[in-house]
Amino acid sequence: MEIAKKITLLFAILSAVIISLLSGFVWYFSNDFAFEDFYKRLEARVNIAAQIKLYEDDNNDVYAKMRNQYLERLPAEREFIIEAGKPEIKVDRVLPRSFYDRINAGFTARYRADNHFYAGKYFKNPQKGYIVIVSANDPVGFRELKDLQKILIIGFFLSVILSFLVGWKFSNYMLMPLRNVIKSVKKIKAENLHMRLDVKDGSDEMSQLAQTFNNMLNRLETAFETQNNFISNASHELRTPLTIISGEVELAMKAKDDSEKQHNALLKIKDESERLNTILTSLLGLAQSGFNGKNQPWEMVRMDELLWEIKDAVNQVHPNSKIEIDFSTLPDDEDLITLRVNKNLIKLAITNVVSNACKYSDYKPVTITLESKTNLLSIAITDQGIGIPESDIQHIFEPFYRASNTNKFKGYGVGLPLSLNIIRLHRGSIAIKSKEGIGTEIKIILPIKG
Protein backbone atom coordinates (compact mmCIF):
# COMPACT_ATOMS: atom_id res chain seq x y z
CA MET A 1 0.00 0.00 0.00
CA GLU A 2 1.29 3.47 -0.88
CA ILE A 3 2.29 5.78 1.95
CA ALA A 4 -0.33 8.33 0.88
CA LYS A 5 -3.09 5.72 1.21
CA LYS A 6 -1.76 4.57 4.58
CA ILE A 7 -1.68 8.15 5.87
CA THR A 8 -5.20 8.80 4.54
CA LEU A 9 -6.58 5.61 6.11
CA LEU A 10 -4.89 6.28 9.44
CA PHE A 11 -6.10 9.90 9.40
CA ALA A 12 -9.69 8.76 8.69
CA ILE A 13 -9.57 6.12 11.47
CA LEU A 14 -8.22 8.59 14.01
CA SER A 15 -10.82 11.16 12.96
CA ALA A 16 -13.59 8.54 13.32
CA VAL A 17 -12.39 7.64 16.83
CA ILE A 18 -12.18 11.30 17.90
CA ILE A 19 -15.60 12.12 16.40
CA SER A 20 -17.11 9.04 18.09
CA LEU A 21 -15.76 10.09 21.46
CA LEU A 22 -17.00 13.64 20.95
CA SER A 23 -20.44 12.43 19.82
CA GLY A 24 -20.67 10.10 22.81
CA PHE A 25 -19.70 12.95 25.11
CA VAL A 26 -22.36 15.23 23.60
CA TRP A 27 -25.01 12.48 23.71
CA TYR A 28 -24.31 11.52 27.31
CA PHE A 29 -24.54 15.03 28.72
CA SER A 30 -27.44 16.03 26.48
CA ASN A 31 -29.33 12.96 27.66
CA ASP A 32 -28.54 13.82 31.27
CA PHE A 33 -29.40 17.53 31.04
CA ALA A 34 -32.48 17.09 28.85
CA PHE A 35 -34.35 15.01 31.51
CA GLU A 36 -33.08 16.83 34.57
CA ASP A 37 -35.64 19.61 34.22
CA PHE A 38 -38.45 17.17 33.61
CA TYR A 39 -37.54 15.15 36.71
CA LYS A 40 -37.57 18.34 38.78
CA ARG A 41 -41.09 19.13 37.54
CA LEU A 42 -42.19 15.65 38.55
CA GLU A 43 -40.61 16.03 41.98
CA ALA A 44 -42.41 19.33 42.49
CA ARG A 45 -45.70 17.57 41.74
CA VAL A 46 -44.78 14.79 44.17
CA ASN A 47 -44.38 17.36 46.97
CA ILE A 48 -47.62 19.17 46.07
CA ALA A 49 -49.61 15.91 45.87
CA ALA A 50 -48.27 14.82 49.28
CA GLN A 51 -49.16 18.19 50.79
CA ILE A 52 -52.71 18.13 49.44
CA LYS A 53 -53.51 14.46 50.00
CA LEU A 54 -51.62 13.51 53.16
CA TYR A 55 -51.60 16.55 55.41
CA GLU A 56 -54.55 18.36 56.90
CA ASP A 57 -54.02 22.04 56.34
CA ASP A 58 -56.42 24.95 56.01
CA ASN A 59 -54.55 26.02 52.91
CA ASN A 60 -54.91 22.68 51.07
CA ASP A 61 -57.91 23.90 49.08
CA VAL A 62 -55.89 26.91 48.02
CA TYR A 63 -52.97 24.67 47.06
CA ALA A 64 -55.29 22.42 45.02
CA LYS A 65 -56.85 25.39 43.26
CA MET A 66 -53.49 26.93 42.43
CA ARG A 67 -52.16 23.60 41.29
CA ASN A 68 -55.06 23.07 38.87
CA GLN A 69 -55.03 26.68 37.72
CA TYR A 70 -51.35 27.46 37.29
CA LEU A 71 -49.50 24.14 37.11
CA GLU A 72 -50.09 22.48 33.77
CA ARG A 73 -50.79 18.81 33.63
CA LEU A 74 -48.05 16.85 31.97
CA PRO A 75 -48.83 14.34 29.21
CA ALA A 76 -50.17 11.09 30.74
CA GLU A 77 -49.60 12.47 34.24
CA ARG A 78 -50.72 10.16 37.05
CA GLU A 79 -50.38 10.18 40.83
CA PHE A 80 -49.95 7.13 43.06
CA ILE A 81 -50.25 7.34 46.87
CA ILE A 82 -49.33 4.02 48.43
CA GLU A 83 -49.35 3.10 52.05
CA ALA A 84 -45.85 2.21 53.13
CA GLY A 85 -45.11 -1.34 54.22
CA LYS A 86 -47.64 -3.05 52.02
CA PRO A 87 -46.23 -6.13 50.37
CA GLU A 88 -47.93 -5.43 47.05
CA ILE A 89 -47.32 -2.01 45.53
CA LYS A 90 -49.49 -1.29 42.54
CA VAL A 91 -48.61 1.33 39.91
CA ASP A 92 -49.09 1.29 36.16
CA ARG A 93 -46.01 -0.94 35.71
CA VAL A 94 -43.58 -2.95 37.81
CA LEU A 95 -40.83 -0.60 38.99
CA PRO A 96 -37.39 -1.94 39.93
CA ARG A 97 -36.60 -2.85 43.51
CA SER A 98 -33.82 -0.23 43.59
CA PHE A 99 -36.42 2.49 43.02
CA TYR A 100 -38.23 1.61 46.27
CA ASP A 101 -34.99 0.98 48.14
CA ARG A 102 -33.94 4.54 47.45
CA ILE A 103 -37.32 5.86 48.62
CA ASN A 104 -37.13 3.82 51.83
CA ALA A 105 -33.65 5.26 52.39
CA GLY A 106 -35.18 8.72 52.52
CA PHE A 107 -34.18 9.96 49.07
CA THR A 108 -36.15 11.02 46.03
CA ALA A 109 -36.16 8.18 43.50
CA ARG A 110 -36.17 8.48 39.71
CA TYR A 111 -36.88 5.97 36.98
CA ARG A 112 -37.41 6.09 33.22
CA ALA A 113 -38.83 3.48 30.87
CA ASP A 114 -38.50 4.75 27.30
CA ASN A 115 -40.40 8.04 27.36
CA HIS A 116 -42.29 7.41 30.61
CA PHE A 117 -40.79 9.00 33.74
CA TYR A 118 -41.35 8.28 37.44
CA ALA A 119 -40.48 10.26 40.54
CA GLY A 120 -41.22 9.04 44.05
CA LYS A 121 -40.65 10.03 47.69
CA TYR A 122 -41.56 8.86 51.20
CA PHE A 123 -43.81 11.03 53.36
CA LYS A 124 -45.12 10.46 56.88
CA ASN A 125 -48.20 12.14 58.39
CA PRO A 126 -49.22 11.83 62.05
CA GLN A 127 -50.96 8.53 61.35
CA LYS A 128 -48.96 6.56 58.75
CA GLY A 129 -46.16 6.62 56.23
CA TYR A 130 -46.85 6.83 52.50
CA ILE A 131 -45.00 6.60 49.20
CA VAL A 132 -46.05 9.24 46.67
CA ILE A 133 -45.21 8.51 43.02
CA VAL A 134 -45.93 10.77 40.04
CA SER A 135 -45.46 9.59 36.45
CA ALA A 136 -45.73 11.37 33.10
CA ASN A 137 -44.45 11.40 29.52
CA ASP A 138 -41.95 13.90 28.08
CA PRO A 139 -42.53 13.78 24.29
CA VAL A 140 -40.69 17.05 23.61
CA GLY A 141 -37.42 16.11 25.35
CA PHE A 142 -37.51 12.59 23.98
CA ARG A 143 -38.08 13.87 20.45
CA GLU A 144 -35.22 16.35 20.81
CA LEU A 145 -32.89 13.54 21.85
CA LYS A 146 -34.00 11.43 18.90
CA ASP A 147 -33.30 14.36 16.57
CA LEU A 148 -29.92 14.90 18.23
CA GLN A 149 -29.14 11.21 17.78
CA LYS A 150 -29.90 11.42 14.05
CA ILE A 151 -27.78 14.57 13.72
CA LEU A 152 -24.85 12.94 15.50
CA ILE A 153 -25.05 9.79 13.36
CA ILE A 154 -25.30 11.75 10.10
CA GLY A 155 -22.58 14.15 11.26
CA PHE A 156 -20.34 11.20 12.12
CA PHE A 157 -20.50 9.68 8.65
CA LEU A 158 -20.17 13.05 6.91
CA SER A 159 -17.20 13.93 9.10
CA VAL A 160 -15.49 10.60 8.37
CA ILE A 161 -15.98 11.10 4.63
CA LEU A 162 -14.73 14.68 4.87
CA SER A 163 -11.72 13.62 6.95
CA PHE A 164 -10.91 10.95 4.35
CA LEU A 165 -10.97 13.53 1.54
CA VAL A 166 -8.99 16.06 3.58
CA GLY A 167 -6.53 13.33 4.61
CA TRP A 168 -6.05 12.33 0.96
CA LYS A 169 -5.35 15.93 -0.07
CA PHE A 170 -3.16 16.48 2.99
CA SER A 171 -1.09 13.33 2.41
CA ASN A 172 -0.59 14.18 -1.26
CA TYR A 173 0.50 17.71 -0.34
CA MET A 174 2.92 16.51 2.35
CA LEU A 175 4.39 13.77 0.15
CA MET A 176 4.82 15.99 -2.91
CA PRO A 177 8.44 16.91 -1.95
CA LEU A 178 9.20 13.20 -1.48
CA ARG A 179 7.74 12.41 -4.90
CA ASN A 180 9.88 15.17 -6.40
CA VAL A 181 12.95 13.65 -4.75
CA ILE A 182 12.06 10.20 -6.14
CA LYS A 183 11.46 11.69 -9.60
CA SER A 184 14.80 13.51 -9.53
CA VAL A 185 16.70 10.47 -8.24
CA LYS A 186 15.29 8.31 -11.06
CA LYS A 187 16.83 10.70 -13.58
CA ILE A 188 20.33 10.27 -12.12
CA LYS A 189 22.38 7.53 -13.76
CA ALA A 190 26.06 6.63 -14.01
CA GLU A 191 26.52 8.97 -16.97
CA ASN A 192 25.05 12.05 -15.22
CA LEU A 193 26.22 11.71 -11.63
CA HIS A 194 26.95 15.43 -11.62
CA MET A 195 23.23 16.15 -11.24
CA ARG A 196 22.03 17.09 -7.75
CA LEU A 197 18.69 17.37 -6.00
CA ASP A 198 17.19 20.77 -5.33
CA VAL A 199 17.63 21.42 -1.60
CA LYS A 200 15.12 23.87 -0.13
CA ASP A 201 16.06 26.21 2.66
CA GLY A 202 15.07 24.84 6.05
CA SER A 203 15.84 21.99 8.42
CA ASP A 204 12.81 19.77 7.81
CA GLU A 205 13.07 16.08 6.97
CA MET A 206 12.65 16.61 3.22
CA SER A 207 15.55 19.04 3.11
CA GLN A 208 17.67 16.65 5.16
CA LEU A 209 16.73 13.77 2.84
CA ALA A 210 17.68 15.76 -0.27
CA GLN A 211 20.94 16.87 1.32
CA THR A 212 21.71 13.27 2.32
CA PHE A 213 21.12 12.14 -1.28
CA ASN A 214 23.40 14.92 -2.53
CA ASN A 215 26.13 13.88 -0.10
CA MET A 216 25.78 10.29 -1.26
CA LEU A 217 25.95 11.43 -4.91
CA ASN A 218 29.11 13.40 -4.10
CA ARG A 219 30.72 10.25 -2.77
CA LEU A 220 29.48 8.18 -5.71
CA GLU A 221 30.69 10.72 -8.24
CA THR A 222 34.07 10.87 -6.53
CA ALA A 223 34.30 7.07 -6.51
CA PHE A 224 33.28 6.82 -10.19
CA GLU A 225 35.69 9.55 -11.23
CA THR A 226 38.45 7.94 -9.20
CA GLN A 227 37.82 4.57 -10.80
CA ASN A 228 37.69 6.01 -14.30
CA ASN A 229 40.78 8.14 -13.73
CA PHE A 230 42.67 5.24 -12.25
CA ILE A 231 41.89 2.99 -15.21
CA SER A 232 42.52 5.62 -17.86
CA ASN A 233 45.66 7.07 -16.32
CA ALA A 234 47.29 4.05 -14.73
CA SER A 235 48.06 2.33 -18.02
CA HIS A 236 49.42 5.53 -19.55
CA GLU A 237 51.45 6.75 -16.57
CA LEU A 238 52.83 3.34 -15.68
CA ARG A 239 53.75 2.40 -19.24
CA THR A 240 56.18 5.32 -19.67
CA PRO A 241 58.62 4.48 -16.82
CA LEU A 242 58.33 0.76 -17.57
CA THR A 243 59.25 1.40 -21.21
CA ILE A 244 62.22 3.50 -20.16
CA ILE A 245 63.36 0.86 -17.65
CA SER A 246 63.04 -1.86 -20.29
CA GLY A 247 65.06 0.18 -22.80
CA GLU A 248 67.77 0.97 -20.29
CA VAL A 249 68.07 -2.70 -19.34
CA GLU A 250 68.58 -3.64 -23.01
CA LEU A 251 71.14 -0.84 -23.39
CA ALA A 252 73.03 -2.03 -20.31
CA MET A 253 73.03 -5.60 -21.58
CA LYS A 254 74.50 -4.51 -24.94
CA ALA A 255 77.19 -2.33 -23.33
CA LYS A 256 78.98 -5.23 -21.65
CA ASP A 257 82.44 -3.66 -21.92
CA ASP A 258 81.38 -0.04 -21.27
CA SER A 259 81.03 0.37 -17.50
CA GLU A 260 80.15 4.07 -17.80
CA LYS A 261 77.18 3.34 -20.05
CA GLN A 262 76.07 0.56 -17.70
CA HIS A 263 76.38 2.90 -14.73
CA ASN A 264 74.32 5.61 -16.47
CA ALA A 265 71.71 3.02 -17.45
CA LEU A 266 71.47 1.78 -13.88
CA LEU A 267 71.07 5.35 -12.61
CA LYS A 268 68.30 5.89 -15.15
CA ILE A 269 66.64 2.64 -14.07
CA LYS A 270 66.89 3.74 -10.42
CA ASP A 271 65.31 7.14 -11.21
CA GLU A 272 62.49 5.61 -13.20
CA SER A 273 61.91 2.98 -10.51
CA GLU A 274 61.53 5.74 -7.92
CA ARG A 275 59.24 7.59 -10.28
CA LEU A 276 57.21 4.43 -10.80
CA ASN A 277 56.96 3.95 -7.03
CA THR A 278 55.79 7.54 -6.58
CA ILE A 279 53.18 7.16 -9.32
CA LEU A 280 51.91 3.90 -7.83
CA THR A 281 51.68 5.48 -4.36
CA SER A 282 49.83 8.47 -5.78
CA LEU A 283 47.44 6.29 -7.77
CA LEU A 284 46.65 4.17 -4.74
CA GLY A 285 46.07 7.26 -2.62
CA LEU A 286 43.84 8.71 -5.32
CA ALA A 287 41.87 5.47 -5.54
CA GLN A 288 41.48 5.10 -1.77
CA SER A 289 40.29 8.68 -1.39
CA GLY A 290 37.29 7.85 -3.53
CA PHE A 291 35.78 5.74 -0.78
CA ASN A 292 33.98 6.87 2.35
CA GLY A 293 36.94 6.83 4.71
CA LYS A 294 35.36 4.33 7.12
CA ASN A 295 38.60 2.38 7.31
CA GLN A 296 40.10 5.33 9.15
CA PRO A 297 38.65 6.98 12.25
CA TRP A 298 36.73 10.25 12.17
CA GLU A 299 37.30 12.54 15.12
CA MET A 300 36.83 16.08 16.39
CA VAL A 301 39.85 18.15 15.36
CA ARG A 302 40.74 21.78 16.06
CA MET A 303 41.77 23.12 12.67
CA ASP A 304 44.09 25.81 14.04
CA GLU A 305 46.16 23.14 15.77
CA LEU A 306 46.13 20.99 12.63
CA LEU A 307 47.52 23.89 10.59
CA TRP A 308 50.55 24.09 12.90
CA GLU A 309 51.13 20.36 12.36
CA ILE A 310 50.88 20.88 8.59
CA LYS A 311 53.36 23.79 8.74
CA ASP A 312 55.88 21.59 10.61
CA ALA A 313 55.37 18.72 8.14
CA VAL A 314 55.93 20.92 5.09
CA ASN A 315 58.98 22.55 6.67
CA GLN A 316 60.54 19.12 7.12
CA VAL A 317 60.12 18.32 3.42
CA HIS A 318 60.88 21.84 2.18
CA PRO A 319 63.25 23.40 4.76
CA ASN A 320 63.43 26.65 2.77
CA SER A 321 59.66 27.22 2.86
CA LYS A 322 58.31 30.36 4.54
CA ILE A 323 54.81 29.68 5.88
CA GLU A 324 52.83 32.26 7.83
CA ILE A 325 49.55 31.38 9.56
CA ASP A 326 47.02 34.18 10.02
CA PHE A 327 44.60 33.68 12.94
CA SER A 328 43.45 37.31 13.13
CA THR A 329 39.86 36.49 12.12
CA LEU A 330 39.38 33.50 14.43
CA PRO A 331 36.20 33.50 16.59
CA ASP A 332 36.35 33.25 20.38
CA ASP A 333 34.23 30.07 20.37
CA GLU A 334 36.52 27.11 19.71
CA ASP A 335 33.53 25.02 18.55
CA LEU A 336 33.46 27.14 15.38
CA ILE A 337 36.93 25.90 14.40
CA THR A 338 36.47 22.29 15.52
CA LEU A 339 35.35 19.85 12.84
CA ARG A 340 34.57 16.15 12.75
CA VAL A 341 37.00 14.92 10.11
CA ASN A 342 39.22 12.07 9.08
CA LYS A 343 42.37 13.69 10.43
CA ASN A 344 44.88 11.76 8.30
CA LEU A 345 43.05 12.46 5.06
CA ILE A 346 42.26 16.12 5.72
CA LYS A 347 45.86 16.70 6.79
CA LEU A 348 47.05 15.11 3.54
CA ALA A 349 44.70 17.27 1.45
CA ILE A 350 45.79 20.58 3.02
CA THR A 351 49.45 19.54 3.06
CA ASN A 352 49.35 18.91 -0.70
CA VAL A 353 48.00 22.42 -1.33
CA VAL A 354 50.50 24.11 1.02
CA SER A 355 53.40 22.08 -0.40
CA ASN A 356 52.45 23.09 -3.95
CA ALA A 357 52.24 26.74 -2.89
CA CYS A 358 55.75 26.60 -1.46
CA LYS A 359 57.19 24.70 -4.42
CA TYR A 360 55.68 26.79 -7.21
CA SER A 361 56.57 30.10 -5.54
CA ASP A 362 60.30 29.31 -5.27
CA TYR A 363 59.86 29.36 -1.48
CA LYS A 364 58.56 32.90 -1.25
CA PRO A 365 56.23 33.60 1.72
CA VAL A 366 53.02 31.53 1.77
CA THR A 367 50.12 32.71 3.94
CA ILE A 368 47.48 30.40 5.46
CA THR A 369 44.35 32.20 6.67
CA LEU A 370 41.78 30.45 8.84
CA GLU A 371 38.29 31.97 8.99
CA SER A 372 34.94 30.79 10.38
CA LYS A 373 31.51 32.25 9.66
CA THR A 374 27.92 31.21 8.80
CA ASN A 375 28.52 27.55 9.67
CA LEU A 376 31.44 27.32 7.21
CA LEU A 377 35.15 27.17 7.89
CA SER A 378 37.54 28.33 5.18
CA ILE A 379 41.28 27.79 4.85
CA ALA A 380 42.89 30.11 2.31
CA ILE A 381 46.42 29.30 1.06
CA THR A 382 47.95 32.28 -0.77
CA ASP A 383 51.33 32.25 -2.53
CA GLN A 384 53.42 34.67 -4.63
CA GLY A 385 54.43 32.09 -7.20
CA ILE A 386 54.22 31.54 -10.92
CA GLY A 387 50.42 31.43 -10.97
CA ILE A 388 48.29 29.30 -13.28
CA PRO A 389 47.52 30.23 -16.89
CA GLU A 390 43.83 30.98 -17.35
CA SER A 391 43.43 28.22 -19.93
CA ASP A 392 44.82 25.63 -17.48
CA ILE A 393 42.73 26.46 -14.39
CA GLN A 394 39.77 24.33 -15.45
CA HIS A 395 42.00 21.26 -15.82
CA ILE A 396 44.24 21.39 -12.75
CA PHE A 397 42.01 19.02 -10.77
CA GLU A 398 42.29 16.35 -13.47
CA PRO A 399 44.67 13.54 -12.44
CA PHE A 400 48.18 13.82 -13.96
CA TYR A 401 47.42 17.15 -15.59
CA ARG A 402 50.13 19.78 -15.11
CA ALA A 403 49.93 23.45 -16.02
CA SER A 404 51.90 24.56 -19.07
CA ASN A 405 54.29 26.72 -17.01
CA THR A 406 55.42 24.02 -14.54
CA ASN A 407 57.99 22.21 -16.69
CA LYS A 408 60.95 23.16 -14.50
CA PHE A 409 59.21 21.87 -11.36
CA LYS A 410 59.13 18.19 -10.49
CA GLY A 411 55.64 16.74 -10.06
CA TYR A 412 53.08 14.25 -11.32
CA GLY A 413 49.78 16.13 -11.27
CA VAL A 414 48.21 14.00 -8.57
CA GLY A 415 48.29 16.23 -5.46
CA LEU A 416 45.36 18.55 -6.24
CA PRO A 417 43.02 15.80 -7.55
CA LEU A 418 43.75 13.82 -4.39
CA SER A 419 43.02 16.89 -2.23
CA LEU A 420 39.77 17.54 -4.08
CA ASN A 421 38.59 13.97 -3.52
CA ILE A 422 39.34 14.21 0.20
CA ILE A 423 37.59 17.57 0.56
CA ARG A 424 34.53 16.15 -1.22
CA LEU A 425 34.45 13.28 1.25
CA HIS A 426 34.10 15.92 3.96
CA ARG A 427 31.25 17.61 2.04
CA GLY A 428 33.47 20.59 1.31
CA SER A 429 34.64 22.40 -1.80
CA ILE A 430 37.75 24.03 -3.22
CA ALA A 431 37.82 27.45 -4.87
CA ILE A 432 40.79 28.77 -6.81
CA LYS A 433 41.87 32.23 -7.91
CA SER A 434 45.12 32.72 -9.81
CA LYS A 435 46.95 35.13 -12.07
CA GLU A 436 50.01 34.05 -14.03
CA GLY A 437 53.18 35.61 -12.76
CA ILE A 438 51.54 37.06 -9.61
CA GLY A 439 50.35 34.15 -7.50
CA THR A 440 47.56 31.79 -6.56
CA GLU A 441 44.98 31.60 -3.79
CA ILE A 442 43.30 28.26 -3.09
CA LYS A 443 40.47 28.30 -0.57
CA ILE A 444 39.26 25.11 1.10
CA ILE A 445 35.70 25.40 2.45
CA LEU A 446 34.36 22.88 4.96
CA PRO A 447 31.00 22.68 6.78
CA ILE A 448 31.32 23.17 10.53
CA LYS A 449 28.39 20.93 11.42
CA GLY A 450 28.49 17.47 9.85
Give pairs for 113-117: CB < 8 Å, separation 24+. Answer: 114/142, 115/139, 115/142, 116/76, 117/35, 117/38, 117/39, 117/42
Q: What is the structure's pLDDT at 275?
A: 66
Provide, rounded to the nearest whole percent, the portion of the chain with pLDDT above 70: 82
Average pLDDT of the segment spanning 7-16: 84
Q: What is the structure's pLDDT at 68?
A: 65
pLDDT band at 233 (very low <50, low <70, confident <90, very high): low
Q: Flag whether pLDDT at 336 surpasses 80.
A: yes
| Domain 295-450 architecture | 2-Layer Sandwich (3.30)
Handedness of CA 43, 44, 47, 50 (dihedral sign): negative
Average pLDDT of the segment spanning 3-32: 82
Q: Flag whether pLDDT at 220 surpasses 80.
A: no
| Rounded-to-integer distance, Cα 41 and Cα 39, Å | 5
Q: What is the structure's pLDDT at 296?
A: 56
Domain spans in the chain, listed from the N-terminal domain onward: 3-145, 295-450
Q: What is the structure's pLDDT at 418?
A: 78
Maximum pairwise Cα distance, the chain: 162
Contact 262, 249 (CB under 8 A): no
E-strand stretches of 180-320: 299-302
Helices (H), 255-302: 259-288
Q: Flag whether pLDDT at 182 surpasses 50.
A: yes
pLDDT band at 101 (very low <50, low <70, confident <90, very high): confident
Provide, rounded to the nearest whole percent, the portion of the chain with pLDDT above 90: 10
Contact 445, 428 (CB under 8 A): yes
Lowest mean pLDDT among 141-155, 188-202, 375-389, 394-408: 188-202
Q: Flag whether pLDDT at 113 surpasses 60.
A: yes
Q: What is the structure's pLDDT at 375?
A: 86
Lowest mean pLDDT among 22-36, 121-135, 383-397: 22-36
E-strand stretches of 93-230: 109-113, 116-124, 129-137
pLDDT: is 432 or 329 the higher one? 432
Amino acid at 116: H
pLDDT single digits (tens) 246-299: 777 777 777 766 777 777 778 877 777 776 776 666 566 655 554 444 455 788
Q: What is the structure's pLDDT at 53?
A: 78
pLDDT: is 439 or 177 the higher one? 439
Q: What is the structure's pLDDT at 368?
A: 93
pLDDT single digits (tens) 119-161: 999 988 877 888 889 999 887 777 777 888 888 888 888 888 8
- What are the strands of the beta sheet with 129-137, ordered from one edge? 78-83, 129-137, 116-124, 109-113
Amino acid at 352: N
Q: Flag whether pLDDT at 362 surpasses 50.
A: yes
Contact 400, 414 (CB under 8 A): yes
205 to 1, 109, 363, 375, 433: CA distances (angstroms): 22, 62, 49, 19, 36
| Rounded-to-integer distance, Cα 90 and Cα 74, Å | 21
Q: Flag whether pLDDT at 56 surpasses 50.
A: yes
| Rounded-to-integer distance, Cα 446 and Cα 217, Å | 17
Q: What is the structure's pLDDT at 292?
A: 47
Q: What is the structure's pLDDT at 293?
A: 45
